[in-house]
Amino acid sequence: MAPTASVEHEELPAPSPDEVAPRFAPLYRQIKTLLTKRLRAGEWKPGEPIPSETELAARFRVSQGTVRKAIDELAADNLLVRRQGRGTFVASHLEARTQFRFLRLRPDNLPEAKPTGEPHPAMPGERSVQGQVLRSQVLECRRARGSAEIFRALQLRAGESLVQVRRVLDLEGEPTVLDEIWLPGARFRGLTAERLANYSGPLYALLEAEFGVRMIRAEERIKAVTAPAEVARVLHVKAGTPLLRVDRVSSTYESEPVEFRRGWCLTERHHYYNELG
């Protein structure tokens, strides 16, 4: 394909006469890497469209099909969202479709409606998601110490500053989850209880909009425990009630961990839902 005359041509990184790791990376993966770097660098912001496939093909001097395959993988990784007839967009936690992508707690009844992502109207301060009414209430937000485990998970040196957020999630009006969240202070300086309280939306949407940090993926480790006294008090249950303790480490681009979260979940009327493929 002849590149459009007016389009400036950007060279691919030199064919690397003698690289180490994957001796030969397919062209479309090189393109994918380049696109990932630009996303990470913020060249296109969440919610914005990236250039069309044909334009990218011209820029990189490859065929449209090759760009397409790179974008296919980025879309499969949830970094990009394709919209037929409109373009390809940088994924965002601000959009209804991808909000609460990481929330795995479901009410026990409710005929497992496939997540449509179309929110229903709800009371102020509440959000409706997958048919359940959700309300978040911030208990505190302060600089805090963290365990060695947390520093390790976030790949920080001991002594680096941490911000801790504690909040309760009400599902259907009942306090159901107590979240204890630790964030690296360096990235999230200026996060306060007020800003959290004034913001009605998912936490990740706020972190994305205000701090430019987009959560891409996470891993969770789940145990069954008995409720500590303090947790029990917040969730209005007796100390010793069995709870799900869900530890989550979430990451941005290139698997860089930026959040450690410990959720204490009451599963009297809810469950953690998971699909195995």
Q: Site mask, its own copies, residues 62-101, x = CB under 8 A?
A: ---------------xx----------------------x
Among 6, 84, 198, 274, binds DNA (CB under 7 A): 84
Question: Site for its own copies (CB under 8 A): how many residues?
Answer: 31
User: Min. distance of Cβ 26 from DNA in angstroms?
Assistant: 4
Token pair of 34 as six digits: 């380049």
Q: Rule CB under 8 A: is residue 271 a binding residue for its own copies? A: yes
Smallest distance from its own copies to CB 71, Å: 15
3-class SS of residue 134? strand
The Cβ-side half-sphere exposure at 218, using a 13 Å CA radius, reads 20
> Taking CB under 8 A as the criterion, which residues in 25-44 touch its own copies?
none
CA dihedral 66, 254, 203, 222 (to 10 degrees): 110
b/e map 10-19, b = 16+ CB within 10 Å:
eeeeeeeeee
The mark string for 35-74 relative to DNA (x by CB under 7 A, - otherwise) is ---------------x-xxxx------xxxxx-xx-----
Q: 110 Cβ partners below 8 Å, 6+ apart? A: 130, 131, 132
Reduce the DSSP state of residue 40 to 3 states and report it: helix
Please pick, from the candidates 32, 59, 93, 104, the single residue that binds its own copies as defined by CB under 8 A. Answer: 104
Residue type, 256: E
Q: What is the 3-state secondary structure (H, E, C) of 12-28?
A: CCCCCCCCCCCCCCCHH
Select 101 or 187, whichever has its Cβ closest to its own copies. Answer: 101
82 touches which of its own copies, DNA, none (CB within 5 to 8 A by kind)?
DNA
Which of 196, 218, 234, 237 binds its own copies (CB under 8 A)? It is: 218
Residue 88 contact among DNA, its own copies, none, beta carbon within 5 to 8 Å by kind: DNA
Q: Using CB distances below 5 to 8 A depending on partner kind, what does residue 28 bind out of its own copies, DNA, none?
A: DNA
Residues 40, 80: Cα–Cα separation, whole Å: 12
In eight-state DSSP terms, residue 214 is: -
Work out whether 88 is an interface residue with DNA (CB under 7 A).
yes
Torsion-angle region of 177 (φ positive above 0: left; ψ -120 to 50: alpha; else: beta): beta
| Residues that bind its own copies in the complex, under the rule CB under 8 A | 77-78, 101-102, 104, 106, 217-226, 242-244, 247-248, 250, 265, 267, 271-277
